[in-house]
Amino acid sequence: MNTKEIISSIALIVREKFEKESSGHDWWHIYRVWQLSKLIAEQEQADVFIVEIASLLHDIADWKFNNGDEKAGGKAARELLSQFNLPLETTDLIVEIIDNVSFKGAEIETKMKSIEGEIVQDADRLDAIGAIGIARTFAYGGHKGRSIYDPAVEPVLHKSFEEYKKSESPTINHFYEKLLLLKDRMNTQTGLKIAEERHLFMENFLAEFYREWNLTYTFVPEK
């Protein structure tokens, strides 16, 4: 199998696995992260094959749906990759990316060791912000039974992964606990450029949300 064939057969396996997800964590999320990773990889100096495979597998056994086992993704990826006879270093690099790509809380650093990992992490984070990020956040909040907003509940900057996982705060708080923090965590220049646009869009969304919530309308009397 050549690299193109390996990529498309992995894409097919992942697509079948995720096609039935409805929490905002579906095949189309994987697809967007894959395409965005490729786009960033072409701007930066990186191994595009590694980036494509790692992005396709980055959520293969996401901790949110695996009783908190943070290594479940890496294990599942290694098992899946074993059928393709890749060099061990390639598999190790991909597994390392998958084990470290997730956001684990506002005050927890998750540093990637390779440029390929930095790119996949940027792409995954970019899909969490902007218009698509907003849509996904409310879809996920609904899936978890969270309210959209509660003026009495203040956002919390989680100091541990445990705390972050247990959070039941309203979905609007998630903007302050995660989404608005992502721009400053971009690894690559290309990622940062895209993040700045998407960040601004979220700030405008929040401003309008509060304007509607608080009815801060001014009416100029017509003559």
**Residue closer to Ni ion, measured from CB, 123 or 202:** 123
CB of 58 to Ni ion, least distance (A): 5
Q: Is the Cβ of residue 127 or residue 177 nearer to Ni ion in the bound state?
A: 127
CB of 212 to Ni ion, least distance (A): 30
Tell me how crowded residue 66 is: count the other CB atoms within 10 A of its CB: 15
CB of 10 vs Ni ion, minimal distance in Å = 16
Residues 88 and 139: beta-carbon distance below 8 Å: no
C-beta neighbour count of 52 within 10 angstroms: 23
Q: How far apart are CA 72 and CA 25, in angstroms?
A: 16
Q: Is 178 helix (H, G, I), strand (E, B) or coil?
A: coil
Contact 203, 137 (CB under 8 A): no
Tell the smallest beta-carbon distance from residue 215 to Ni ion (Å).
37
Q: Binding mask 116-145 vs Ni ion (x if CB under 5 A, - otherwise)?
A: --------x---------------------
C-beta closer to Ni ion: residue 56 or 202: 56
Q: How far is CA 157 from CA 3, 19, 35, 63, 77, in A?
A: 42, 33, 31, 20, 31
Helix axes 48-57, 88-100, angle to 10 degrees: 50
Residues whose CB is less than 8 angstroms from the CB of residue 85 and which lie 6 or more positions away in sequence, other chains included: none
Residue from the set 52, 59, 116, 118 that interacts with Ni ion by CB under 5 A: 59
Site track for Ni ion across 29-58, x = CB under 5 A: ------------------------------
- Write each residue from 157 to 196 as x if it is in contact with Ni ion (CB under 5 A), else as -, in one continuous string: ----------------------------------------
- Interacting residue ranges for Ni ion, rule: CB under 5 A: 59, 124
